[in-house]
Each structure stands twice: as C-alpha cells, then as structure tokens.
Structure 1
Amino acid sequence: MSSTLDILKGVFGYPAFRGQQAAVIAHLASGNDCLVLMPTGGGKSLCYQIPALLRKGVAIIVSPLISLMQNQVVALGEVGVHAAALNSSLTYEEAQLVERKLLAGEYDLLYVAPERLLTERFLDLIARMPLALFAIDEAHCVSQWGHDFRPEYCQLNVLHARFPDVPRIALTATADAVTQNEIIERLVLHKARIFISSFDRPNIHYQIIDKINSRQQLLSFIQTEHSKDAGIVYCLSRKKVEDITAWLNAHGIVALPYHAGMSPHQRSQNQDTFLREESIVMVATIAFGMGIDKPDVRFVAHLDMPKSIEGYYQETGRAGRDGQKANAWMAYGLNDVIQQRRMIEESEAQKQFKQAAARKLEAMLAFCETTTCRRAYLLDYFGEKVAFKACGNCDVCLSPPDTWDATIAVQKALSCVYRTGQQFGAGHLIDVLRGNDTARVKQWHHQQVSTFGIGRDLSVKAWRTIFRQLIALGLLTTDSEGYGSLCLTDASRTVLKGQQKIFLRQLTERSPRLRKKQLNDDFPILDPEAQQLWEQLRNWRTKTAREHGVPTYVIFHDATLRELVRLCPQTADELRQITGVGVHKLDRYGDHLIEILRNG
C-alpha cells in the first residue's frame, strides 16, 4: 500500500486512511467489484479517486447532479488531479473539447450523469479507450422507495453487460437492508464485496423539541448556538421556505431560499453562494442537498418532520462533514404527524408503495417519540448493533425525558374520538375535552357528549402532545379521506377496556447552554493574537477562493486553518506535516501561508 499511502499524503494531504478506506481501495484497485456503505463525511470519494490514479485508463464516475460533479472536478483540480465533467451545462463546443481530451487520455476521472452514460453514443465512445473503473455514486438512487429515486439508475446494469472486465464500485451513505438488496440486484453486484462502515456520526448532536412557535424557536436556536455559522433549514413547502427565509433575513441572519419552484438559474446561483461564501443559511425543501459536500455546515434544522429515517439521516448528515461538532435540530408537533399521514393517503401511488411509506413514517415517528438514546435508535434502524445504551450526545441522553402514567388521559382522548363520531381533528377534540363551548362544538351538539369537559385538568399543549403520541403509537390514525379526522384503531380497544396501561413522554424545551459549551470544545475561544491570525487566514482563503472561482473549503478546510493557527509552521517542511496540505497545494500556496504565519 506504499504507493497508495503516497497518493493519500502527497496528493490529498491526509496522513492516514480512516475506517475501511484502505481495504476498499485495495479491493477495487485489484480489479474487484464492491458496494460501499459509508456515512456522509466518511471519505467515500477517496475510495474510487485513489484507485483511479493507481489503475491504467480513465475512471468513469456516475453522478446524479451537475453541481456535485462540478464541485468534485474543482476540488480535484486544486490537488493537481486531471478530471472533467460531461453534462448538459456544457456548450456543444465545450463538450466536444472534453471528448477529444478524453480520447487523448488526458483525464484521470470523468464525471457523467446516468442519462448521458446510457446513450449509445457515449457507450461507444468509452469503448474506444482503456477504462480504470466505474464508480456509481449515490447508489441509493436505484431504490424506488426513496425520495431520491432516479429511474436511469435502474438501467446501469448495462455497465456489467458491456464492460464485464472493468471493476465497479457503488457508493451510498443511506441504505437499509431493503435498499442494499435493491442496489445489488439492479446493478448486478451479486459477486461484489460489501463494505459497511458504521453509520454513526458521533460529532452530530441530535435534538428534537416540541413545536410551539417554530419560527421563534429556530431563530433562538441559530442566534444562541450558531451565530455566523453556515447551516441548512429544511421545510416541507415552497411557501414556507420563502417565509422562513424572509423571517431570518429580517432578524439579521443571511439566508437564501432553494426549492423546485425557482428557476434553475436562481437555484444554481443560490447554491453556489452557499458553497462559496461563509456564514450563509440555506432554507430549502428536500430538492436541495444530495451531494452537497460543504464540510463546515455546523447545523441542519428541520421545521417539518421528514418522511423517513433515511431522509432524516441523509439530510442531517450534511452537517459536520469535517468531523467537527455539529447540530441536528428539529421542531416537531402534532400537525407534522397528521400532515405526513394525509400526504400518504392522498398520493396516487400504488397500495404497495403507500404501505412502504407508512412503515417508514411509523419508524420516523418512533424516533421522534423515543425515550431512549436517539443515536442507538438510528443505528439499530440501519441494522447496526451498538454496545452503548446512552451516547451522551443527544437530547435524550443529556436530559432524559420524564414519563408518566397517562392511561386515564388516553382513555379520555380515545373515548372523545369515539363519542364524536371519529370525524374530527385534534383541535375540535381538545375543545370538547376541555369544555370549550365554541360555535363548532354547539353546531355538532358536542357539549352534550359524555366526554365534554372531562379534560379540563390538562392544557391545550398537553392534549396536543398526547394526541401526537397516540398517533405515533398506532392507537389513533387519520381518516382515509384526507381531512385529518382522527379515528380509532384495533389497538385502541384494549386501552379503552382498561386492559393496557399507557406511559407517555413529557416533552420540554431543552436549554442550549450545555450544548454551547460542548461546541466550544471543538472551537475553543482563541486568545487575541491567535484570533487575529485565524481571521487573516480566513480572509486570505476567501480572497484566494474568489480569484480561483471555487468554494472556500476547496482551498482549505476550517480544520486545516485551525491546525495552522495551533502549530504555526514556519518552513515548507513543517507546512507539509499539516493535514490537508498536499504537494500541489504546498507548491501553490506554501509561500503565501508561510508569509502570513511568520508575520502573524
């Protein structure tokens, strides 16, 4: 592995491999197929980039997004690797130039979208040259059950049929057992070796709060814990994206919107700004995110509950790719539960798809309501057994929720659903339980039912929490007509009959003070001189990135700058020892850095 280690250090500037990287690289470089499951930020790209440099010919990388391809090509160029992308963003003349250079053997890696790869013209083109390997990135896109499903991915078995002797590697950060089997079947990877790294992201702190005033809660979270940090805020609707963006900007936080209703040019422009500039908050629907490799995203916030654990894991995984501490924060409430169930019922999908979506939603609800370690729950969902019962880095572990015997309250709620005909939403049911003589209660004569006023002892907030948990536990469901009415399930009978006790969690707001201290463990407060040097390095990095037309992290990660401040190397030899400084970057930026460090 000496030549491999030379490439790792000399080209990419890293002193050692992480996890299973070395084993994957050796297996692929030897001409074998493999499926790699590795968490976001785990270093998947190196698993095919280094074999591409070791093997004869060009490596063809199948990538689903133009922005992802461009970012990878730019980053490789900064370390001296010859790479290009062939996609619809190129003019005819630019595409012709890439093809000529490709035939001339001038590229180590070529990134291409699956749609272009599947054309006969492209397949004939690459058949005329030596091929090092095929890498299929974001391989979970083959799964018809996922929100990132790309039909073209299902046709990539053509690579095995047309080029049986070229090794293939499929990579993803998100795949449960079902999705893994889909990848193997659809890509014909039956003989491939499977490398499964831990799905754990120990640097991410998971926190879910009871949704009360989500706008204000989000603002408080950002101002308290992430002032001037880059982050992503996910919302379910386009309108909400626009509203939250305006709200944050009005309160001094630089935010940009991203959703499918915007023009492609505006989306691309906002994404480029987010990637290239510091301290930008992107407010987006799930249309944003796949392949975003900005390493210094310090938080991902959800103002609406994701549809599945896979979606949640993938979206939160965009935080802390640099390995430094980051936050995954969510405000979650009753309407999230009702809205997601309604969307499943109202969809025109086949019954089998609806059933699968419902199962995934149930798992997501259970994650939100769990009274045990959130990290352990996530890992167990992906089939990874853990030895710990408490991770010490999620809200449940740091502040275990109180539980209470809610059996009587639950019986009152279920009885109220039954007495009012199973055709009303939670708001009306709470009015009946609390004895609120509203116009609607009078209209339906519900002041006359036996459950009217029997729940005055609990607040509206408490009742909403109870109804939410009853839906999550499967004791209530929403109607099939899509109106949001709550209905009893078969499981509710034993509770109504007094044959089963129900314990529920009491959700409370978490104090951010403890978390702020933990974040400072990774980003300690610098003394005035070190702070000045840090700012000088950041300013130099920003200026250099703008001159080169690349994101700042492509020049150097924050972790590299912090190591420069801490060690303050004064010579090229000393600088070579800094993580992230390879031969090409040393030649290109070494003199500038040494000048700053000496003067600083």
Structure 2
Amino acid sequence: MDLAAAQQVLKTTFGYDEFRPGQKAVIEQVLAGENTLAIMPTGGGKSLCYQIPALLFTGLTVVVSPLISLMKDQVDALNDNGIAATFINSSLNNQEINERLQELRAGDYTLLYVAPERLDSEYFIQALGQLPIDLLAIDEAHCISQWGHDFRPSYLALSTAIEQLPTHPQVLALTATATEQVAQDICQQLSIDPNEEVNTGFARDNLNLAVVKDQDTDRYILDYLKVNQGEAGIIYASTRKEVMRLTKLLQKHHVKAAPYHAGLDDDVRRQNQEDFLFDRVDVMVATNAFGMGIDKSNVRFVIHAQVPGTLEAYYQEAGRAGRDGLPSEAILIFRPADTQLQHFFIDESEMDDEHKHRAYRKLQVMTQYANTQGCLQQFILKYFGEASQPCGRCSNCTDEREAMDITTDAQKVLSCVVRLHSRFGKGVVAQVLTGANNQRIRESNLSELSTYGLMANQRQKSVAELIDFLTAAGYLQAVGGQYPTLTVTQLGADVLRGKATVLRKTARTVQQSVPENSALFEQLRTLRRNLAEEQQVPPFVIFSDKTLHSMCDVMPEDDAAFLSVRGVGQSKLEKYGEVFMATIRAAAHEPATADSATAD
C-alpha cells in the first residue's frame, strides 16, 4: 500500500492538501505494517494517523480511548464526514453493545472506539476475536507508564489483549506528552521497536505561554475575560470548592460560565460539558477531571487559576487551547500558597515513598517554571529532552517591563544559604532573613547567624518568592523530595563574588490574546451553531474555526472553490456547501455603505 493512496484520502475525505509534520512518517510506517509510537503535540493531527490507514485497510481499526466524551466527539465527526464509525463504552446497555458487535461482525464499520477497561474483560476480548482487526490505535498512550503523570492501571491489560487477539493487529501508540523515560516504557510494554518512534517535538507554534504572578487572581481573570469577550476557554482550579467559587464569580459578572468536577451530579456534568461543546457557554471552570480527550477545537485560552502538580499535566491541559492551529493562549496564575495545596495532595495520596518523592520533585519543577525569566516554551521543551531556541512569543520573550537590579538582595539570600550550610529549605531561609522568632529559629540558634534579620524590612512571603525566582533562574538548587534543602550553584557563587549581577522584572497587565474576528466569520459561526443544534452535534464537528477563517480568505462561490478551502472534503461539500456559500455570496455582494462609497 503506497502513500499516494493516503494522500488521496487526505484530500478527498478530509479536505487537506498537505500532511502536517510527522503525519506522513507515521502513516508510512503503519501502512508498512510496523508497530509505531507517535509523539505529537496536542492539535498536531494525531487522529488522522490512524483514521487514514483505517480507510485504506480492509479490516477494522480499533481505537483505545480513555474518555467517553472523546469517543462520542470523534465518532460524531467521522460520521458527519461520511465515515462509518461507532463506539462501545459504559454509556450503552448490554443490548446496545450486542447490537453493535453484530453490526461489526457484518462489516458495517471501519473504526471502533473502546475504553481501555473493556480489554480487561475476557468476554469482550472473545467478541473482538471474531472481528478482522488490522490496527489497534492506543490514544493517550502515556497512561500505560507508571513513570507518566496520568498512569491508569487499565492500560496494563493492553499488552495481554494484543497477544490474545487472533489477528495479532499491529499497534499504533499515540501521545502528546512523554518524557524520554515514558517513551521507553511505552515501547517496551507494547512491543514497539524504539527505532519506530516518530517524535515531531513538543513545540506548539500557535500557543502563547504566559505566567502571571503577584496579582489578584479574581481581578486578573475578570479583566482577561472582559478583554477577550465571547471567546471559548477553560479555567482550571485544583479543588471542587474553588471551581464553584470561580463559576459563581464569573456568572455574577455576566460571563457565560459552567462548572465541571467529579462531585457534580452525572446529568449536570454531562449537560455542562455539552453546553460548552455546543458553544452555549463560553467558559468551563473545571478541575483536571475535565478536558482529557475533549475534541473542541476552538478553545482560545486555558487559564490555570491554581498551579497543577506536574509540568506534564500542565502542558497537556494547556494544550487544549488552539487545537485548530489558530493563535491561542495558555496562562498560569502562580501563587506560592497553591503549591502547598499540591503538597497536601501528595502527602494524602496512597503513593509509596518513592513515588511521593518523585511527585515532590515534579512539583519543584512547576515552581521553577513559574519563576523562570527565560523562555517558557524553551523551559518546557528542555524538560521533555528537546533542545530549542527561545520561542519569541511567550510572556517572558515578549516582556518589555523594566528589569530591576536585585543583586544586593540576591547576595543576602545566597549568603544565608551558605551560612546555613545547605541544611535547610526555603521556609527557614526566609525566616532567618526576615528575623523570625519562632521555636525552630530559637532551638537551632539561627538568630546568631550574621544574615539573621538582613531583610527584616520585607515580608516573609516576598523573600520566599525571591528564593523561588533565584532557584528557577539557576542561582540556587533545591535538593531532595518532600523537604528540599537549598544549595548555591556555580552561577550563584559568581553573584556572591560580585562577578555577576541579578536582574528581575516587575506586575503585568491584561492584553487581548487573539486577533479579532471579521463580521463574515461571526455570520458563519452563527450559521454553524444553528446547523449544529439542528443535528445535535458540537459545532466543531461541522467545521473548525480554522476552516471558517479559510472560507473568509477564499470567499468560495462555487463547488471547486469551496473544495479548495482547508478542511473541506467531498462529503462536507455535499452536506454544507450550498448553505455556507449562500452566506458568503450575500456578504460578497452587499451594496457598499454610504461611508465606503464616498471614501477616497
């Protein structure tokens, strides 16, 4: 099977002229019968890597997906595009499952989506064994690794299931977030040759990363939503209580917002998710229970109102913005107190000591990310083992705030760490510098140090934040897990000797994150929403925002021109071409207004 056939499917079925980075390499390996690991960023087009081969294979492609909402979204989108797909999960009763299995045996479907838990059932494996399965695509494959941030025991049944299937299908594992260690683990567990890994890198060129510190969270969010009114976004909080508080705050200020967390009634949660997917509400305020696998492509911003526990989790959640490739923003609002909440979650978890220490170290990385003044994307890519240049887009790269020389304060902190012989952590260092008089200070005779009270004119919280900054910037290093101690690095030693200066920038203001939409785009968006309500599918299933913007650029008035729009295939043309072109024609032939008619 050659790549030309795949290229033809890409154009006629999905409406794209060119493959995205990595897609061609993955599809080539799959068509050649190789087990493959694909590591591509969220929004990088992973689903086409198995959907195109599925349309070329004679047998069935089974897609393992961890969330019911993702299955429904993808099946809706495939069916709307004229592709026979179905799912089997816990939303169906036994009779419905048996009916679908019967239809699958009759060859009625090309793709089947299932939850990983299904493959733990001997009965279900036997049922799958009667189907001609060519390809097993495993989405969110990092869930199989205990080194990953989202390990799911149900994924461990996959390797056994593959062995039990009579057709011995080839495997395609897909993920957006995998460190080198996690990638090795995926390959080992799923019998993938490490040489068959396709990694397009973790950079998201359309995603602007930002960190906001030392500001009132509520005020910042309200200002941001006012400036970016009407755009779709997700606001993440760490607790159900904070989700409900923020939702009420937004609703009080007339923002169309809905909450989502595991404590809500199933029907309420389902309705809120549907309202967000159908563009009835603009903002979803949620815990991390929301979003994994949500296929809504037009999320323009993701705001973390509280710091998450790991950089992997952060980048995956942030990556839900801009899946359609349009400019979008991911903002982390950082307050040191929020790290204590994550600390509490780790303390109270059922993890063993080794996993807890690993979790504490990952939380330290999050703190360093929030406090670095270097490129944010470069920081994340380095964490995933990828070298890169500064992105030129993130809040640090575009930061024009004045840098203040804080070398003297930095020397006070570094000197204190040296005087404490690197035996204490951030809290004690801040207490010594601000002249605290508590039991620990007295018992350890720390008030006798020459650095005691050197920064008594500053708040302990401010000094602790300065320590976080110095750690993120590489002047200090935090060593250890649950109670890390501080040590001075070579860079810090240079500052102490007066060989280097330390600069730090001062609060940022809210700016509009994405370009304004044209009047025609808004008309097409309204048309899309009305059609979606009629068909009971989310609007992005019909066309993505990127496709609507492409229509505004191309202004198609006949079938050939409509087919040239990015994201329009033959099926979409037949279903929606005439109604969308009617709106475009009307806009193109509107009589000029008096103002424009008399303009020079």
CA contact (8 A) 2:223 2:510 kept: no
3-state SS in 1 of match to 2:212: strand
TM-score by length of 1: 0.87
Q: Separation in 1 of the partners of 2:454 and 2:38? A: 56
Alignment of 1:487-526 (within 5 A): 489=486, 506-513=504-511, 516=512, 519-520=514-515, 523=516, 526=518
Choose the corresponding residue for 1:236, options 231, 235, 238.
238
| RMSD of aligned residue pairs (Cα, Å) | 3.5
Q: Separation in 1 of the partners of 2:362 and 2:369? A: 11
Shift of 1:510: 2.2
Q: 1:156-207: per-residue Cα shift (whole Å, max 9, x none)?
A: 1124322464211000001001111111122222377111012110111111
1:547 match? 534
Q: Separation in 1 of the partners of 2:263 and 2:573? A: 43
1:64 match? 66
1:464/1:553 Cα in 2 relative to 1: closer, same or farther (>3 Å)?
same
1:174 match? 177
Q: 1:393-441: per-residue Cα shift (whole Å, max 9, x none)?
A: 01111116556313343158659999xx989968x966x8667999x99
CA contact (8 A) 1:254 1:281 kept: yes
1:563 match? 550
1:382/1:479 Cα in 2 relative to 1: closer, same or farther (>3 Å)?
closer
Q: Which amino acid aligns with 1:111?
A: Y
Q: Separation in 1 of the partners of 2:379 and 2:203? A: 11
Q: Separation in 2 of the partners of 1:18 and 1:490? A: 45
CA contact (8 A) 1:228 1:279 kept: no
Shift of 1:130: 1.6
Shift of 1:570: 1.2
Q: Separation in 2 of the partners of 1:402 and 1:99? A: 67
3-state SS in 1 of match to 2:406: strand
Q: Separation in 1 of the partners of 2:66 and 2:200? A: 23
Q: Which amino acid aligns with 1:202?
A: D
Q: Which amino acid aligns with 2:277?
A: L
Q: Which amino acid aligns with 1:357?
A: A
1:476/1:140 Cα in 2 relative to 1: closer, same or farther (>3 Å)?
closer
1:247 match? 249
2:52 match? 50
Q: 1:424-467: per-residue Cα shift (whole Å, max 9, x none)?
A: 968x966x8667999x999x999999877642444666434224
| Contiguous gaps of at least 5 residues in structure 2 | 588-600
Q: Which amino acid aligns with 2:198?
A: F
1:391 match? 391
Q: 1:519-564: per-residue Cα shift (whole Å, max 9, x none)?
A: 32xx4x63xxxx1x33332221111101111110111111222222
1:194/1:146 Cα in 2 relative to 1: closer, same or farther (>3 Å)?
closer
1:13/1:84 Cα in 2 relative to 1: closer, same or farther (>3 Å)?
same
Q: Separation in 1 of the partners of 2:90 and 2:41? A: 29
1:246/1:415 Cα in 2 relative to 1: closer, same or farther (>3 Å)?
farther
1:583 match? 570
CA contact (8 A) 2:557 2:581 kept: yes
1:372/1:319 Cα in 2 relative to 1: closer, same or farther (>3 Å)?
same
Q: Which amino acid aligns with 2:71?
A: M
Q: Separation in 2 of the partners of 1:93 and 1:505? A: 67
| Contiguous gaps of at least 5 residues in structure 1 | 481-485
1:492/1:60 Cα in 2 relative to 1: closer, same or farther (>3 Å)?
closer
CA contact (8 A) 1:24 1:47 kept: yes
Q: Separation in 2 of the partners of 1:286 and 1:503? A: 40
Give % identity.
37
Q: Which amino acid aligns with 1:564?
A: M
CA contact (8 A) 2:66 2:115 kept: yes
Choose the corresponding residue for 1:133, options 129, 132, 135.
135
2:357 match? 355
1:573/1:414 Cα in 2 relative to 1: closer, same or farther (>3 Å)?
same
Alignment of 1:29-44 (within 5 A): 29-44=31-46
1:447/1:413 Cα in 2 relative to 1: closer, same or farther (>3 Å)?
closer
Alignment of 1:151-162 (within 5 A): 151-162=153-164
CA contact (8 A) 1:154 1:187 kept: no
3-state SS in 2 of match to 1:212: coil
Q: Separation in 2 of the partners of 1:595 and 1:411? A: 68
Choose the corresponding residue for 2:92, options 90, 93, 114.
90
Q: 1:359-418: per-residue Cα shift (whole Å, max 9, x none)?
A: 3223222222222211112112112222x2x22101111116556313343158659999
Deviates more, 1:540-549 or 1:147-156: 147-156
CA contact (8 A) 1:59 1:132 kept: yes
Q: Are 2:100 and 1:73 aligned?
A: no
Alignment of 1:302-451 (within 5 A): 302-386=304-388, 388=389, 390-399=390-399, 402=404, 404-405=406-407, 406-410=409-413
Q: 1:75-132: per-residue Cα shift (whole Å, max 9, x none)?
A: 0011000000001101222212211101100000000111112322222222223222
Q: Separation in 2 of the partners of 1:437 and 1:350? A: 35
TM-score by length of 2: 0.87
Shift of 1:213: 1.4
1:111 match? 113
1:483 match? none
1:296 match? 298
Shift of 1:476: 6.9
